[in-house]
Amino acid sequence: MLTTNSDLNENDDTGFHLQGLPESGRMADLRSRTPVELLASQFVEELRRGERPSVETYAKRFPLHAGVIRESFPVMALLERARLQTEAQAMRRSMPKGFPFTRLGGCELLCELGRGGMGVVFQAKEIDSGHIVAVKILPWRVSMVPEWQNRFEEEARTAARMQHRNIVPVYRFGEEHGYCYYTMQFVNGVSLDRIISRLRHTDGVVYGDEIAHIQKDRPDGYVSSGSDSSENRSTNGSLSAETNRRQLTRTSWRSFTQIAMHVCEALRYAHQQRVLHNDIKPANVLLDCDGRVRITDFGLSCSVNPTELNNEGPQANGTLRYMAPERLAGSHHESSDLYSLGLTLYELLTLNPGFCAGSEKDLLQQIETQSLPKPRQIRADIPVGLETIVMNCIAAQPDQRYQSADQLYADLLRFGRDQKIRRTTSGPLLKLWHQLRSHTSD
């Protein structure tokens, strides 16, 4: 039973307050609305400001209304997500073809590299140093999209905190000419989705050939020697012979394992920083000309509260095909990222996406029913150990997956040493099992 309005007031010590209303307006609103309505309004307002409100935090701070909060707030978050997606689709249709400037953030814009859901990426040259970088721009004036500005700035701040060799670093961010932007390292390489596409049509992919092919397709202004790294470059800026010899084939199981390990290392670091990526997929995994694997695009990342792994940030944004089932209900934690990595590895091994449907409705049904064939049912030559690792990542129930990037990394190492990989067990037994295996392998 709901309590009276006196149970929730502007002086409530929970830290929730009615904001943006004058004194008389706040008190009138309090008298005319129920406490849950007020909390719901503030919850949605926080979502629209680009914040990550926790359903569980609201439930714990207002225990008299916890049942209603836990039941209704995730639904409101999903409705808000749908509203944002509709708005985003309309905005993308009106995304400008060009910008009224050629310099931004101390950089000269050279050429456009690509467009995503919330930004346009340019190759650029730093005016002072001459270094080649990438610049991501929110393609509308901030006065037009204040909600998106908050999300874009949060993406930049989060990515700038990530200092790891397998994560594309962000250098700085700011606002200029009325547009938000941030600069990051330019990676002279190829995304994993392009590697997978090539492997579908040919038995082998040579790094150097593929990178050179991408460079050939770039527009005027593209600088082919743009990578800051020079370890594998000749003096004239062309790809070195070592890079040209790097090759992946459809049966490069060890190389595929190494790619997964590098992504896993990046996720392990991000999770230690209490950050979930929330959009791991082949397109966000880059292989550079030095053979290094990096992940990019923290635009959908969120914080992890150590005491509330299942309830922090009830937003189900991301690429649906690679999204863990629990995220459809607004819940996410470390194993949700590992699920996405598992589906990425699944696609790399089988050369087929795990889930593929003609409509979002059908795709949702596939994900919810887990109608997914095992990798060896598609390709019998896939090693049993790699199949087991994939299945341990993509179990429908979160407690039947690897619970941390450390556990996944340990099994990838075991596979590399030709040791047997076992299926995970659920609940407390899972943790005990991995502890026992850890001790026996030392």
Q: Give the DSSP per-residue string, 236-281.
A: TSSBPHHHHH-EEETT-HHHHHHHHHHHHHHHHHHHHTTEE-----
Q: Which residue has the tokens 């101390």?
A: 106
Question: Could you tell me the residue ranges of all domains in the chain?
Answer: 16-89, 103-186, 249-441
**Whole-angstrom Cα distance, residue 81 to residue 328?**
11
Average confidence score pLDDT of the chain: 78
DSSP 361-379: HHHHHHHHHT----HHHH-
Count the neighbouring beta carbons within 10 Å of the beta carbon of residue 266.
26
Instruction: Say which CATH class 249-441 falls into.
Output: mainly alpha
Average pLDDT for residues 32-37, to the nearest whole number?
A: 73
Domain with residues 103-186, CATH architecture: 2-Layer Sandwich (3.30)
- For the cut 60, the answer to whether the pLDDT of residue 21 exceeds it is no
3-state secondary structure of 105: coil
From the list 336, 297, 289, the residue with the least C-alpha distance to 315 is: 336
**Residues ≥6 apart with Cβ < 8 Å to 292:** 165, 166, 262
pLDDT (0 to 100) of residue 126: 95
pLDDT tens digit string along 201-243? 887 776 667 766 666 666 667 786 544 443 334 333 444 555 5
**Whole-angstrom Cα distance, residue 223 to residue 244?**
19
- Single-letter amino acid, residue 99: F
- For the cut 80, the answer to whether the pLDDT of residue 84 exceeds it is no
**Whole-angstrom Cα distance, residue 338 to residue 315?**
18
Does residue 345 or residue 95 have the better pLDDT? 345
- Single-letter amino acid, residue 190: V
Beta carbons of 289 and 188 less than 8 angstroms apart: yes
Beta carbons of 287 and 190 less than 8 angstroms apart: yes
Give me the residues paired with residue 133 across strands.
124, 185
From the list 274, 284, 253, the residue with the least C-alpha distance to 166 is: 284
CA 240 → CA 47, 74, 231, distances in Å? Answer: 48, 52, 9
Count the neighbouring beta carbons within 10 Å of the beta carbon of residue 360.
10
The shares of helix, strand and coil residues in the chain, as percent rounded to the nearest 5, are: 45, 15, 40
Does residue 439 or residue 152 have the better pLDDT? 152
Is this structure's pTM higher than 0.75?
no
**Whole-angstrom Cα distance, residue 175 to residue 439?**
52
**Whole-angstrom Cα distance, residue 21 to residue 32?**
14
pLDDT tens digit string along 351-370? 999 988 777 778 888 887 87
